[in-house]
Amino acid sequence: MKKLHILAIVVIAIAIGMILTSLKSTTTYADFAEAMENPEKEYHVVGKLDKTQPQIFEPRVDPDKFYFTLIDNRGVSKPVVLHKSKPQDFEKSEQIVLIGKMSGNAFQANDILMKCPSKYNDGKNELK
């Protein structure tokens, strides 16, 4: 075989390996029930803040833990431990996406994405 053919085979093998590795590390969207069935797998869980439950953030004790309760899109409420500090304007968020795994009855979130209310008026002109 020519050196060029060997080099091409090596490059293709590396590319296939990189693709398989990236597919293995991707996460999927789920609800709490699916996350509980597969506690070893990381999921994106979408929901809303349960404002009837307490939020606990004690930066003097542990600045990288924030406790709250989330209601997923199916209406299931679970406690959440966010392994980051409390996000700014957290209470104003309309929708929350948690990235993490279930551990027991609580969801252990490594990251959070928040959809906050728009400061714009959906393109409606309020001037008359």
Under a CB-based contact definition with an 8 Å cutoff, are residues 69 and 14 in contact? no
pTM over 0.85: no
Instruction: Taking residues 7-20, report their average pLDDT.
Output: 88
* pLDDT, tens only, 52-91: 999 999 999 999 999 999 999 999 999 999 999 999 989 8
SS3 22: helix
CA-to-CA separations, 98 to 8, 70, 125, in angstroms, rounded = 41, 9, 35
Closest CA to 76 of 28, 31, 29: 31
Domain ranges (residues) in the chain:
28-115
Domain made up of 28-115: CATH architecture: Beta Barrel (2.40)
